[in-house]
Copies of this chain bind each other. A is one copy, B any other.
Amino acid sequence: MKKIVNDPERVVQDMIQGLVTAHPGSVKQLPDTTVITRKDAPVSGKVGLVSGGGSGHEPAHAGYVGKGMLDAAVAGEVFTSPTPDQVLEAIKAVDSGAGVLLIIKNYTGDVMNFEMAAEMAEAEGIQVEKVVVNDDVAVEDSSFTSGRRGIAGTVFVHKIAGAMAEKGGSLQEVKAVAEKVIRNVRSMGVATSPCTVPAAGKPSFELADDEMEVGIGIHGEPGIERKKVATADEIAGELTDKIFTDLDFANSDVAVMINGLGATPEMELYIVNGKVQAILADQGMNVYKTFVGEFMTSLEMAGCSVTLLKLDNQLKELLDAPSTAPAFYS
């Protein structure tokens, strides 16, 4: 796999440089860190929102930094959770005294690093709360394991918690609505080709010409089942089926996200969307809003995920609230 990079070991630094120069009016980099914050951070009186994780999921997470969404995003090395010292810098940079909420995707590494940062921040007198997103229904939610993974549904947590913080919600209120989103959001994905970590130089797994990986993670980790490539309609059916088995969406108002994993043409995402919408209509669900595009990618992996979020009036209002984040303008 060819990469348009300079040095595989420096991709994160180079990317951050390119990101900050692209959006100089809205974001800034904390010097000597891989932390991107709102230019106006800390926002006086506002609860600070910090998320992040390994790099390679762009536009996540820095693309969601902006008014109405995150205050800071911490970028780790590719597919590697950022370290506690970096997360701590982010927390300190966005805390205005109203406390900070960490939005963590449920991976052992992310949880441990963010937790350690939270402990350090609390030791410095900052109020920190955290929520852990685990929307991926591909993985069983068992108390004997580390549980389900966090994938594209995380973007809805950023958006809605961000809107709550922006309108002045307290740390507990922001945390509560983030948890409400987490309870009501489910996702699942499929990959038709692997991705290559720049420093690894070879694909994370191999797929035959007629195979796909169902229940794929967003780090090139293998999915849960390998099978013959199916049609867009079949894929839409399988992913939504799995989601409905996990959470009952009957008669709900839902937000839909069809997320490209990196290399999938937008054309294909729309084709999948067409079927997803038909399925939801069939089942009597009411689609409130649809998002089609790349929101939580896995480098140049081909494939997509489907995310459904059950909405009540509060969530609708917060989903619709303005955001100036480069990757989620609304």
Q: How far, in whole Å, are A16 and B292 apart by their CA atoms in the complex?
A: 13
Chain A residues 8-34 with CB under 8 Å of chain B are 11, 14-19, 21-23
Among the listed stretches A89-97, A103-111, A168-176, A227-235, which one makes contact with chain B, having 4 or more residues with CB under 8 Å of it?
A227-235
| Chain B residues positioned under 8 Å from A292 (CB to CB) | 18-19, 22
| Chain B residues positioned under 8 Å from A273 (CB to CB) | 18-19, 21-22
B59 touches A2 (CB 8 A): no
A302 touches B263 (CB 8 A): yes
A22-B270, A266-B297, A302-B300 given as contacts; is B277 within 8 A of A233 (CB)?
A: no
Chain A: interface residue count, which band?
35 or more
Q: Closest approach, in angstroms, between the C-beta of A304 and any C-beta of chain B? A: 7
Chain A residues 261-295 with CB under 8 Å of chain B are 262-275, 277-278, 287, 290-294
| Chain B residues positioned under 8 Å from A304 (CB to CB) | 4
| Chain B residues positioned under 8 Å from A268 (CB to CB) | 3-5
Smallest Cβ-Cβ distance to A277: which chain B residue: B21
Q: Does A244 sit at the interface, judged by CB under 8 A?
A: no
Query: Can you list, as one digit per residue, whether each of A176-218 has a CB less than 8 Å from chain B (1) or not (0)?
Result: 0000000000000010110000000000000001101000000
Q: How far, in whole Å, are A267 and B63 apart by their CA atoms in the complex?
A: 11
A300 touches B265 (CB 8 A): yes
Residues of A within 8 A of B (CB): 2-7, 11, 14-19, 21-23, 55-56, 58-59, 63, 190, 192-193, 209-210, 212, 229, 231-233, 235, 256, 258, 262-275, 277-278, 287, 290-294, 297, 299-300, 302-304, 329-330
- 18 A-B pairs with C-beta separation under 8 A: A2-B193, A3-B268, A4-B231, A5-B231, A7-B231, A15-B267, A15-B274, A18-B292, A21-B287, A21-B290, A22-B277, A56-B267, A58-B265, A58-B267, A263-B263, A265-B299, A267-B299, A294-B294
